[in-house]
Chain A
């Protein structure tokens, strides 16, 4: 018999970026908040010996234990979904701070086009431009309305950057100046400028200088140590929920974090949530945490799973195209790139930072004419210097042997002579790409795994090839001796790492028939349940998602406080 705990004002499921920001905002406003995190405690001091590529980047030390919970995957509904048994395409975060601990820190605002993608595409190209089955939709909120929330997240984290010549309007500049430009970055920027493109320094959550944020949190500057993505930051220089928002929430005395607490159900009655039921994973004990408001911030897959297991919101049915929970899943098309081999030069690519780079949006959004192209949207193109760690990076020109004497000689020769220009492609949702519950496989607690049905479409293939061509043009201008570029996208496969930019499943929108939450991330079907994260994205843009996730968390916080005051549906 589950033990019932004393009621709190708000219970938050999953304490990463979204959960952390909301906890901070709500406790600062006087609410009592309980944060339930499935994983363990984490702090900066844990990362003293973090420059260990094998342990963190290849053995996935900071990531979720897949033996307890994973997803199943199939490319279409015609085949049986099978478990993702080991890590590949994306890496699931866990623990206090979630993936906010081991991200790279690349922090981009989406474009004005993104928030009104359906209307603007039709306006410019006509309805026929949107292929059958592509389910893009307007977000219900505009870039201008999002702007203040982007500003807040960027000031929280101290983003180091300079304005994007092709981006949306900004009310303020970045809080800290851009990072240092390495020779590789300068080479890329010069080449891009020569080609009349608009390069600018990548907006970075790795601080370019010491910074104190509006909450009074001081952090040190990034040391360019080249151990960012998949690693915790031992300097606190990389913005991380544990370093930025959790201390603020805890200081109010109104935030209680319970780790090792796996939420399995949202309890509800008569269209309103009453709290959550969770398992203490250390003892196995089941507990009930009653609350006036439930906030679900447990990553894209788990947000969907929790709602489906709890019977909240209408499950998506691909055959009829009705329902919303699990709808509009999307990813990132990251294979359009060009690798340049430089016989005459070496670069200090052993050094770097997660968001050290130069980027450009000339081929992103609707910034270029798609009239004669067989795809919409595009992607950002960047040269980033995140640090080429020695196990994972042994590039050789295409056609070279992949083992033996020829491989060894070439991989050693080119160790510091390879640069990569990459396209981060947007990903459009389709009617037959979705998340639901697997009928066969279960997690360690007896609940079904989330099932992912997804593949690349012609939209993605055309987009990837187009971007890789543009990448190769820039690489040629950079003077590489030899260039290898993507020839063919191929099917989506779950075995090779691409990105952990999974989006959709609990999308936001203006109306309940095609969205699960309104523009305050409040569920249409349960007014005291807020579901926040990239699960809210109706499509994914040509950028990393975290700035938008952070902005939506601030937006949701505002909504929760409004709801606390007045109650009822906010939209």
Chain B
């Protein structure tokens, strides 16, 4: 029975860490003997015994990817009740199946929670100034509510609609019933006064996909399993050797792997 720590290490070993010399030659950094600029040029140090990327080697501040335990599986924003509803809803949008894990196992609910706690939840880089008028569809969102408020209202409305229709909370419904509720929001069959039901559903769907496939640093795509499902290699330094070849699977690598390898 494989030691779970051992598994991480062997995954890292499968990832071809491009040797620095090979990369420098490929990238043409030694153009006429001059080391060309670029982030890599200024940040690559001579590999020494101490800082050579040895997956699973003795702990260092940035750690080997396999050694770090994640402590972010707790809410920054949602109440327990909200987290339950989001978990149920996102699992219906992106369910576990033969292809691989669904929203729950990938950590999507925590991803969404963490995102709402930050700048995305507060629409901080968007134009949220008045006056507010309802516009044409082509003019985009013209509401005054921030995403975190929209989620609060949307989740409450999901719960209300479930109680009204099925006399049970959303998380307690059978999967087919949950789908019915979600479809009612998607089609605007549910008439809400404060937010657009279909707008909320759209946001739920797109943030589910973000949670499934963003770099695992954000709390989703647990263990890069979203990427593994799609045979997506994550963050790789170079594809120069494979760009003109047929498709082949490359084991995925995360931004944390990138950081700790240099």
Which residues of A pack against B, CB within 8 Å?
44-49, 51-54, 58-60, 65-67, 70, 73-75, 79-80, 82-86, 88, 180-183, 209-210, 212, 218-221, 223-226, 234-237, 243, 345-348, 350-352, 356, 390-391, 394, 402-405, 407-409, 412-413, 415-416, 440-442, 491-495
Contacts and interface: CB of A to CB of B under 8 A. Distances in A.
Contacts of A394: 209
Nearest to B258: A49
Given A85-B128, A236-B36, A408-B102, A224 B239 contact: yes
B55 interface: no
Given A67-B125, A182-B243, A403-B93, A218 B26 contact: no
Contact of A415 (B32, B102, B138, B232): B232
B100 interface: yes
B210 A58 contact: yes
Contact of A70 (B127, B179, B258): B127
Contact of B140 (A53, A79, A494): A494
Contacts of A44: 37-39
A212 B239 contact: no
Interface string B159-183: 0000000000000000000010010
A493 B137 CA distance: 8
Given A86-B123, A391-B210, A67 B39 contact: no
Given A44-B37, A65-B125, A223 B97 contact: no
A440 B132 CA distance: 11
A209 B32 CA distance: 13
10 contacts: A44-B39, A48-B40, A67-B127, A67-B128, A183-B246, A221-B26, A221-B28, A235-B38, A494-B138, A495-B140
Interface string B217-260: 01000000011011111111111101111111010000100110
A223 B125 contact: no
B23 to A, nearest CB: 8
A352 B213 CA distance: 18
Top-3 shortest CB links A-B: A210-B28, A351-B239, A493-B138
Given A54-B215, A180-B243, A221-B27, A73 B97 contact: no
A437 B140 CA distance: 20
A52 B258 CA distance: 11
A416 B37 CA distance: 34
A123 to B, nearest CB: 37
Contact of A86 (B42, B126, B215, B262): B126
Nearest to A444: B129
Given A65-B125, A80-B133, 6 more contacts: A44-B38, A47-B39, A58-B210, A59-B120, A85-B127, A86-B126
Contacts of B36: 210, 218-220, 236
A73 B38 CA distance: 39
Interface string B178-195: 010010000000000000
Contact of B233 (A47, A243, A350): A350
Contacts of B80: none
Contacts of B142: 82-83, 85
Given A82-B135, A415-B231, A52 B95 contact: no
Interface residues of A, dominant DSSP: loop
A75 to B, nearest CB: 6
Contacts of B136: 75, 79
A76 to B, nearest CB: 10
B58 interface: no
B127 A243 contact: no
B77 interface: no
B124 interface: yes
A154 to B, nearest CB: 19
A220 B29 contact: yes
B215 A348 contact: no
Nearest to A210: B28
Contacts of B208: 403
A493 B135 CA distance: 12
Contacts of A347: 247
Nearest to A243: B37
Contacts of A65: 125
Contact of B255 (A49, A182, A413): A49
B34 A218 contact: yes
A54 B255 CA distance: 12
B70 to A, nearest CB: 17
A497 B209 CA distance: 18
Interface string B99-124: 11010000000000000000110011
